[in-house]
Chain A
Amino acid sequence: MTSERSRTAHSESADQLARRALDALRGAGGACVAAAHLDAVEDESDRPVALGAVRVLGADVLAPYVLTGQDIPAEERDALELALSALPPVRTPPAAPPAGPAPAWVTAWVTWGLVTAYTRLTPTDAPAAAAALPPGPARCDDTAPRRAAWPADGGRTTAEAAGTGAATREGLQEGWVTWSVRMGQLASLALPGLDGPVHDAARSSPLALARGATRAMLRRDFPTAARIARWLAWLHAEGVPLPLAPAPLTDHIGLHGGGGRTDLDTAIAHRLLSLKPV
């Protein structure tokens, strides 16, 4: 099916871009990430996919510059401006899940991360497109059923449906399974210099993140484990006490590997933990 082929092309392009970022982070490639990715496009019809990959990776494209302090080359700035103007941030980000649509909300946050990190790195060269701050994520209740959600569709909560009486809690809340997987989708925000409501949510629920990472490990879903473990590494760098040690977890994921994005997540986690990769 075309949509399946399209998804595969987007995924492969994002993976290649992640490898370029990883090479730049390790000092193994050139200083450019997005620019090199766009330069490698041979067929013009593939250019939208390559631009889309920048938006998929978000602030991770800038991770080499954020983590090593090296300057962004001019052609890299041009490439990022091009990606942001081709796919500008939405003016009004959607409501956070479970009330709002999760994919659009995740995209809004990933874009916010890219724009914010870029602005911090190039304060005199603000991007053409500003990104509105999306609504913060639901709070995670560590004691709630794993997949609980307040409010669910139609305003009737799953807590009410289950008869648990927990519906009296106020605001958006979720159980740790759904919440931690979604935080993993926002892993590109787990970079030094970025802070906001998503980071506050991470600070408030280290146990949920640790459970999510553990669940992903036991399911041998290493990409998800790497994304969530990155939040644990970020919290560790912030000095937040964790219910499990992030270093052996990160090492273990690194030994399994799992594609460009997973390797990049693991390398960034190692940096946050000030560890050498195993």
Chain B
Amino acid sequence: MSNAFARTAHDIGSRALTWLHTHRAHGALSPSVRAELGRDADAYKTVGELTLAASLVLRGGVAGTTELALARELLEHCWHQLGDGSLLYERLLRHPLTTDAIETYAHFARSGYRFPELERLIAHTVALRSTHAVEHVPNRRLAVANAARVIGLDTGPGAYDWDGLTRATWLGATPEPWHIDWLTGYSVTHTAFHLTDWGRLPGGLPADIATYLTHWLPVWTDIWAEAGHWDLMAELMIVGACLPEPWTEAADWQRLAAVQHEDGLVPRDAQPVDDEDDDDPARRFDAHYHPTVVAAVAATTALTRALDAPWQPGS
């Protein structure tokens, strides 16, 4: 095993987490948004993604003491933002066909935060045929299935047909790799994230899909790196860490480190981050928190796998 990338990945992850923690207030919910939470899932999307990053840093256990403390504080902040889980409960109770509350709660449950009333509501909801028939895009169905698995509610009447869900996705068809586009790239990454619970269960990828990804990830990562789509490039790097035999290239980490700002922000793409018309810190956070979350997740998943699995030679 060669971990030439490890130091670079650690530095990227540490700086990204620090930036997310420092600027977390920009993702806070306003009182009016709280009141309207029942109607608008996007209102707390940022909180959900900060929760994901923090939960995976804590789960991985490869972060230093400082980073672990930042992740705990970030998670506590997000839990508080959501009324210690009560807003998720209200949203799911009022809008039983939405699944975002289940998906968001899973990130907290992963880290030991529990809200018993919400879990009873989720247990009821995931057992309904209606919930399974919600007309999501196929990779989103896997997100719901993984959330139920993480919460521990994926058995009995709420059991999911993982193979059927998998084969309904673009990735599940192992299609012509030269036909992918930017948006489908995200479908691929999310299918892999949910099948493996973000790298925790690499065996969740069927063997043919794991082989397919091993073949084409190096190409796709190269393409979106060349195009300067750092967000998708880093998501593909996470997929590399989800494979049964994890894959990465030190050059990709070096490229990500080169575009990361000194304060930890990872830009979404190759467009300038700061200009005279747009130096509002809140807008800056809104535009770039996602790639910074992705970078933090990429670092922690890659480093976690590096400790427990052989890496491709030359990586």
The residues of A with any CB-CB pair to B shorter than 8 Å are: 141, 143-148, 159, 162-166, 176-177, 207, 210-211, 213-215, 217-219, 225, 243-245, 248-249, 252
Given the contacts A159-B314, A164-B314, A207 and B215 also touching, CB distance less than 8 Å: yes
Instruction: Answer yes or no: B4 CB below 8 A from chain A CBs.
Output: yes
The answer to whether residues A145 and B219 also contact, given A164-B4, A213-B178 and a CB cut-off of 8 A, is no
Q: State whether B4 touches A163 (Cβ < 8 A).
A: yes
* CB–CB B178/A145 < 8 A: no
B218 touches A176 (CB 8 A): yes
Task: Give Cα A211–Cα B216 distance, bound, in whole angstroms.
Answer: 7
Q: Evaluate contact between A244 and B222: CB separation under 8 angstroms.
A: no
What are 29 A-B interface contacts by the 8 Å CB criterion?
A141-B314, A143-B313, A143-B314, A144-B314, A145-B249, A145-B250, A145-B251, A146-B222, A147-B251, A159-B314, A162-B4, A163-B4, A164-B2, A164-B4, A166-B2, A177-B222, A211-B216, A211-B218, A214-B177, A214-B178, A218-B178, A218-B180, A218-B219, A243-B215, A244-B177, A244-B178, A248-B176, A252-B178, A252-B179
Shortest distance in angstroms between B10's beta carbon and chain A's nearest beta carbon?
A: 15
Shortest CB–CB separation between residue B302 and chain A, in angstroms?
15
Given A145-B249, A210-B215, A166 contacting B178 (CB threshold 8 A): no
Q: Which residue of A lies closest to B223 (CB)?
A: A218
Whether the Cβ atoms of B226 and A165 lie closer than 8 Å is no
Instruction: Report chain A residues within 8 Å CB of B226.
Output: 219
CA distance A164 to B254 in the complex (A): 14
Chain A residues in 8 Å Cβ range of B312: 143
Q: Complex: how many Å from CA A159 to CA B314?
A: 8
A213 CA to B219 CA, complexed, in Å: 10
Residues in B neighbouring A176, C-beta threshold 8 A: 218
Alpha-carbon distance between A44 and B121 when the two chains are bound, in angstroms? 87
Asked if residues A146 and B315 are in contact (CB atoms below 8 Å), the reply is: no
Which residues does chain B contribute within 8 Å of A252, judged by CB atoms? 178-179
With A162-B250, A215-B219, A218-B178 given, can you name 14 additional A-B contacts, CB distance below 8 Å? A144-B313, A144-B314, A145-B249, A163-B4, A176-B218, A207-B215, A210-B177, A217-B178, A218-B180, A219-B223, A243-B215, A249-B176, A249-B178, A252-B179
**CA of A148 to CA of B176 in the docked complex: distance in angstroms?**
26
For B215, the closest partner residue in chain A by CB is A243
* Chain B residues positioned under 8 Å from A148 (CB to CB): 314
Asked if A166 and B313 sit within 8 Å, CB to CB, the answer is yes
CB–CB B222/A215 < 8 A: yes
Q: Which 8 A-B pairs have the closest CB atoms?
A: A217-B178, A144-B314, A214-B178, A218-B223, A166-B314, A163-B4, A214-B177, A214-B219
Task: Tell me the minimal C-beta distance from A249 to chain B in angstroms.
Answer: 6
| Bound Cα distance A166, B250 (Å) | 13
Cα of A177 to Cα of B312 in the assembled complex, Å: 17
* Chain B residues in 8 Å Cβ range of A245: 176
Query: What A residues does B250 contact at CB under 8 A?
Result: 145, 162, 164
Contacts of A244 in B (CB 8 A): 176-178
B residues 92-120 near A (Cβ < 8 Å) are: none
Give, as a whole number of angstroms, the nearest-CB distance from A170 to chain B: 14
Complex interface residues of chain B between 210 and 266 (CB less than 8 A to chain A): 215-216, 218-220, 222-223, 226, 249-251
- Expressed in whole angstroms, the minimum distance between the Cβ of B4 and any Cβ of chain A is 5
A-contacting residues, B290-315, CB 8 Å: 312-315
A96–B312 Cα distance when bound, in Å, is 27
B222-A165 in contact (CB<8A): no
Across-interface contacts of B249 in A (CB, < 8 A)? 145-146
Q: Which residue of B lies closest to A147 (CB)?
A: B251
| Bound Cα distance A150, B100 (Å) | 50
Distance, CA A248 to CA B180, complexed state (A): 14
CB contacts (< 8 Å) of B218 on chain A: these are 146, 176, 211
A244 CA to B216 CA, complexed, in Å: 10
* Contact in complex: B216, A214 (CB < 8 Å): yes
Shortest distance between the CB of B199 and any CB in chain A (Å): 20
CB distance from A150 to the nearest CB of B (A): 10
> In the docked arrangement, what's the CA distance between A210 and B178, Å?
10
Q: Given the complex of chains A and B, what is the CA–CA distance between A17 and B314 in angstroms?
A: 43
Within 8 A of A (CB), among B67-112: none
From B176, B178, B226, B313, name the one whose CB has the most chain A CB atoms within 10 angstroms.
Answer: B178
B101 to chain A minimum Cβ distance, whole angstroms, is 37
Complex Cα gap A257–B180 (Å) = 20
Check if A215 sits within 8 Å of B223, measured CB to CB. yes
Residues of B within 8 A of A145 (CB): 249-251, 314-315
Q: How far is the CA of A243 from the CA of B222 in the complex (A)?
A: 19
Q: Which residues of B contact A143 (CB under 8 A)?
A: 312-315
CA distance A278 to B178 in the complex (A): 18
